[in-house]
Every structure is written in C-alpha cells, then in structure tokens.
C-alpha cells in the first residue's frame, strides 16, 4: 500500500483505553472507506486522550495508521501459525 493513501472515517463506534507496559493507549474503533471504495472496520491508536476524542465522521486518516480488522482475510494467510 502506498503511504499517500487515505481513508475517510464513516463511524466511530467506541473509544477504550489500554495499558501496555505502563503506557496508556487510546483505541478508537472505526468504520472507514478507502481510496478503492472498500468499507472496513478498523482501529486507530492514540497516546493522547484529546486526540482520540477529536476523531469524527468525515476525518481523513493515513491508511498506515489504521489497523484493519479484516487484514488476515485479505492476505489469505494466518499470521499466528505457519502450517
């Protein structure tokens, strides 16, 4: 994927906090549409709560910052086990 590809936020489902090694990350669960008009669910992580709270419908995000929930299905491989 090219680094200049963006996606548009269609919906922000929820925002939760996660503590990882003493660092609090804010995870935003979103639905987005990319340059190919594919709609997918994903997550975006923030260090700052204010940044996480300011994400809204219509915002453009760099695709490299969005973790897609369907990534294993698109790649047709299992990243956990090598069979």
Q: Where are the domains of the chain?
A: 6-75
Residue 2: pLDDT band (50, 70, 90) is low
DSSP 5: -
pLDDT of 73 over the 60 cut: no
31, 8 contact by CB (below 8 A): no
Q: Which residue has the higher pLDDT, 56 or 2?
A: 56
- Residue 65's φ and ψ, nearest 5 degrees, are -95, -5
Radius of gyration of the chain (CA): 14
6: its two tokens = 């963006």
For 15-33, the pLDDT digits (tens) are: 999 998 989 999 999 999 9
Q: CA-CA distance, 82 to 77, in Å (whole number)? A: 9
């Amino acid at each position: 994927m090219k680094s200049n590809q963006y996606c548009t936020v269609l919906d922000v489902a929820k925002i939760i906090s996660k503590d990882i090694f003493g660092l609090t990350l804010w995870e935003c669960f979103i639905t987005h549409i990319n340059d190919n008009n594919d709609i997918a669910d994903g997550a975006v992580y923030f260090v700052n709560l204010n940044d996480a709270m300011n994400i809204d419908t219509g915002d453009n995000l760099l695709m490299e910052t969005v973790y897609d929930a369907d990534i294993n299905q698109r790649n047709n491989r299992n990243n956990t086990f090598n069979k």
